[in-house]
Amino acid sequence: MIAVLVHSANQADSVAAQMVLAETALREPSVSHVWTDQGYRGQRLQEVSAACDVKLEVVTRTRGSVVEPRRWVVERTFAWLGKQRRLSKDYERLPQMSECFIYQAMTALMLRRLTA
């Protein structure tokens, strides 16, 4: 996990994605390709990705129960995070606290994998 941004529901995902993309480019300049869903098709986001030298690929969803390329990775990660008690329900008042618990959950998961 490179960057996390938790924001209020009244902010569009494409606007928040610009911030995440810029943060990712700063933290991990080797990232060159990002897969997104349909919510990230805006022209401004394309401009930000070009400025960060990152290629955005929008994964389109097909009808039926089909495993989508790369989409399953995100869904699997959300399932892992949902197993964490503090992340299974939205108890936090501040978005920064949710971000901290996401980092904590992913750190614990990676430590378990590295030490297994």
pLDDT 10s digits, 34-70: 888 777 778 888 888 888 888 988 877 777 777 776 7
Kindly state whether residue 6 falls inside one of the protein's structural domains. no
Domain count, the chain: 1
Q: Provide the whole-model pTM.
A: 0.70
Whichever domain contains 98, its CATH number is: 3.30.420.10
pLDDT 10s digits, 71-83: 777 778 888 888 8
Buried b (16+ CB within 10 A) or exposed e, 46-77: eebbeebebebeeeeeeeeeeeeeebeeeeee
Kindly state whether residue 86 falls inside one of the protein's structural domains. yes
Kindly state whether residue 88 falls inside one of the protein's structural domains. yes
Kindly state whether residue 2 falls inside one of the protein's structural domains. no
